[in-house]
């Protein structure tokens, strides 16, 4: 019985050195690997959890029974992936969970991972009534699972089969991005009336091209009144405070004097004005949380309908900001900086960087357009 346990591996405490070791047999010889100290892992269960990735890495296709490699289902792989490699960013986790629970697991969950090869996956994706971009997301997630399976030693390290899967139409949008003209933005502000909070909210969003989650993540301490800058460093979705989308999204942006006056007026109007307070704090939550994401969208939808603008997407202000930058003749290198894109191809396929003064000049023009509507 003891020999059988060692074949699978065993965690043992060295009482003299007070360290945990993982023991296993390799070609008739006993091997050992240090896991950590008793201080790091007070209980044997925690030491086992720490040793588990290494134990699985020993189970390569060469030394595990063939039936075991073939029996690894997508369900089992996903469970392991969530425990070890699932991204920490909350919004990314929600996206992954959605694709997995609604598409990947219902179709592939009970099948061995080795069944999810290029041809069957491509035919399956073609059968889904989804946009090309959504299909691309699903293929990308399957590619991540295959990479994880190779990393964990469940399948041989080789070319990822998802690289052979093609998804047509991914370079073409199924729906044209919505941008507001200066007149339409004026209509939107007019429909808000005397709601100083929401007027400030949309002015900030369109002036910086921020995502709604990034506007909700702003605190008064992020504003440097003397340097006339603001730090974009967090986002809030469904009251979960998280990092911004990427390291390039985190940026210090310049603020024009006109927009600074708008912020000063809002700070004088709100009861939550301390440096650590949210700029758009929720009165319902006594300022401990920002306004709810869904609450903002209900207000925006109501204002949009009242203004006769129809549906506005979550990226409308971001697309509007980009369009206005173009309309005032902003160089594409400056646009990339102001849109906080990691790659200029995301902006327009040209390279370049922007000095602060050029950014300030371009930002001033955008704020003038926005404030002309206010």
pLDDT given for residue 4 in this prediction: 37
pLDDT over 80 at 30, yes or no: no
Lowest mean pLDDT among 230-234, 334-338, 341-345: 341-345
Q: What is the pLDDT of residue 1?
A: 37
Its pTM surpasses 0.85? no
Mean pLDDT value across residues 53-78: 66
Range of weakest confidence among 52-66, 243-257, 278-292, 330-344: 52-66
pLDDT average, residue stretch 231-247: 77
What's the pLDDT score for residue 59?
58
Query: pLDDT digit string (tens) for 354-365?
Result: 445 666 777 888
Mean pLDDT of 172-177: 60
User: Which pLDDT score, from 0 to 100, does residue 360 have?
Assistant: 73
pLDDT greater at residue 77 or residue 70: 77
Domains by residue range for the chain, with CATH? 2-58 (1.20.5), 68-164 (1.10.150.130), 182-373 (1.10.443.10)
Model pLDDT, residue 275:
94
Q: Decide if pLDDT at 28 tops 90.
A: no
For the chain, the three-class secondary structure string (H helix, E strand, C coil) is CHHHHHHHCEEEEECCCCEEEEEEEECCEEEEEEEEECCCCCCHHHHHHHHHHHHHHCCCCCCCCHHHHHHCEHHHHHHHHHHHCCCCCHHHHHHHHHHHHHHHHHHHCCCEHHHCCHHHHHHHHHHCCCCHHHHHHHHHHHHHHHHHHHHCCCCCCCCCHHHHCCCCCCCCCCCCCCCCCHHHHHHHHHHHCCCHHHHHHHHHHHHHCCCHHHHHCCEHHHEECCCCEEEECCEEECCEEECCCCCCCCEEEECCHHHHHHHHHHHHHCCCCCCCCECCECCCCCCCCECCHHHHHHHHHHHHHHHCCCCCCCCHHHHHHHHHHHHCCCCHHHHHHHHCCCCHHHHCCCCCCCCHHHHHHHHHHHHHHHHHHC
Mean pLDDT, residues 75-84 taken together: 91
């Amino acid at each position: 019985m003891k020999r059988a346990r060692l074949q699978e591996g065993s965690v043992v405490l060295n009482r003299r050195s007070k360290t945990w070791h993982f023991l296993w047999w390799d070609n008739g010889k006993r091997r050992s690997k240090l896991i950590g100290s008793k201080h790091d892992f007070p209980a044997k269960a925690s030491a086992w959890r720490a040793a588990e990735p290494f134990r699985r890495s020993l189970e390569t296709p060469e030394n595990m029974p063939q039936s075991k490699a073939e029996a690894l289902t997508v369900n089992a792989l996903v469970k392991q992936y969530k425990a070890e490699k699932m991204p920490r960013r909350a919004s990314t986790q929600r996206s992954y969970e959605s694709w997995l629970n609604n598409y990947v697991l219902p179709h592939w969950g009970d099948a061995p991972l080795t069944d999810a090869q290029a041809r069957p996956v491509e035919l399956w994706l073609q059968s889904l009534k989804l946009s090309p971009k959504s299909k691309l997301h699903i293929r990308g997630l399957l590619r991540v699972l295959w990479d994880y399976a190779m990393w964990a030693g469940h399948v041989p390290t080789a070319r990822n089969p998802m690289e052979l899967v093609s998804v047509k139409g991914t370079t073409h949008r199924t729906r044209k991005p919505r941008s507001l003209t200066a007149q339409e933005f004026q209509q939107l502000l007019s429909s808000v009336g005397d709601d100083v909070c929401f007027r400030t909210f949309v002015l900030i969003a369109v002036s910086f091209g921020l995502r709604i989650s990034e506007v909700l993540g702003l605190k008064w301490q992020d504003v440097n009144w003397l340097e006339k800058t603001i730090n974009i460093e967090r986002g809030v979705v469904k009251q979960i405070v998280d990092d911004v989308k990427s390291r390039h999204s985190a940026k210090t942006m310049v603020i024009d004097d006109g927009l600074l006056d708008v912020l000063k007026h809002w700070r004088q109007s709100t009861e939550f004005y301390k440096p650590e307070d949210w700029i758009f704090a929720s009165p319902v939550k006594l300022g401990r949380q920002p306004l709810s994401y869904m609450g903002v969208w209900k207000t925006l939808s109501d204002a949009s309908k009242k203004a006769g603008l129809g549906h506005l997407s979550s990226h409308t202000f971001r697309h509007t900001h980009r369009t206005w930058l173009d309309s005032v003749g902003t160089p594409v290198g400056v646009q990339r900086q102001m849109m906080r894109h990691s790659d200029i191809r995301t902006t327009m396929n040209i390279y370049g960087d922007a000095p602060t003064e050029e950014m300030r000049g371009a930002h001033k023009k955008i704020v003038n357009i926005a404030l002309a509507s206010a």
